[in-house]
Structure 1
Amino acid sequence: MYQLIEKYKGIHPGFVIEHLLKKRLLRQRPFALSINEYPQTLNAITKGKRSLNTALALKIEKQLDLEQGTLALLQTYFDIDQENKKTNHPTPNRSVLRTSLFWDTDIKKIDWNKQYKAVIRRVFERGNASEQNEIRRFYGAKKIKIALQTDIRRPYRPSHK
Structure 2
Amino acid sequence: MNSYIEKYRGIHPGIVLERELKRRAIKKHPFALSIHEYPQTLNAITKGRRSLNTALALKIEDKLGLEGGTLAVFQTYFNIQKEKNKLPTNKPNMSMLRKSLFWDTDIQKID
How high is the TM-score relative to the length of structure 2?
0.87
Q: Give how far 1:129 is off.
A: 1.9
- If asked which structure has higher relative contact order (CA below 8 Å, sep 6+), I would say 2
Q: Paired residue for 2:38?
A: 38
8 Å Cα contact 1:32-1:38 kept in structure 2: yes
RMSD between aligned residues: 2.0
For 2:109 and 2:34, locate their aligned partners in 1 and report how far apart those are by CA, in whole Å. Answer: 57
Alignment of 1:109-120 (within 5 A): none
8 Å Cα contact 1:96-1:131 kept in structure 2: no
**Structure 1 position 129 matched with structure 2 position 100:** yes
For 1:27 and 1:131, locate their aligned partners in 2 and report how far apart those are by CA, in whole Å. Answer: 59
Larger radius of gyration: 1
For 2:99 and 2:7, locate their aligned partners in 1 and report how far apart those are by CA, in whole Å. Answer: 48
Q: Paired residue for 2:26?
A: 26
Any stretches of 5+ residues in structure 2 without a counterpart?
none
Any stretches of 5+ residues in structure 1 without a counterpart?
98-126, 139-161
Superposed CA offset, 1:24-75 (max 9, x none): 1100000000000000000000000010010100000000101111000000
For 2:77 and 2:87, locate their aligned partners in 1 and report how far apart those are by CA, in whole Å. Answer: 15
Detail structure 1 runs of 4+ shifted over 6 Å in the superposition: none
Q: Give how far 1:131 is off.
A: 7.1
For 1:26 and 1:130, locate their aligned partners in 2 and report how far apart those are by CA, in whole Å. Answer: 62
How high is the TM-score relative to the length of structure 1?
0.61
For 1:17 and 1:47, locate their aligned partners in 2 and report how far apart those are by CA, in whole Å. Answer: 10
Supply the AA of the counterpart residue of 1:63: K
For 2:45 and 2:51, locate their aligned partners in 1 and report how far apart those are by CA, in whole Å. Answer: 6
For 2:28 and 2:110, locate their aligned partners in 1 and report how far apart those are by CA, in whole Å. Answer: 50
Equivalenced residues, count? 109
Q: Paired residue for 1:55?
A: 55
For 2:80 and 2:3, locate their aligned partners in 1 and report how far apart those are by CA, in whole Å. Answer: 19
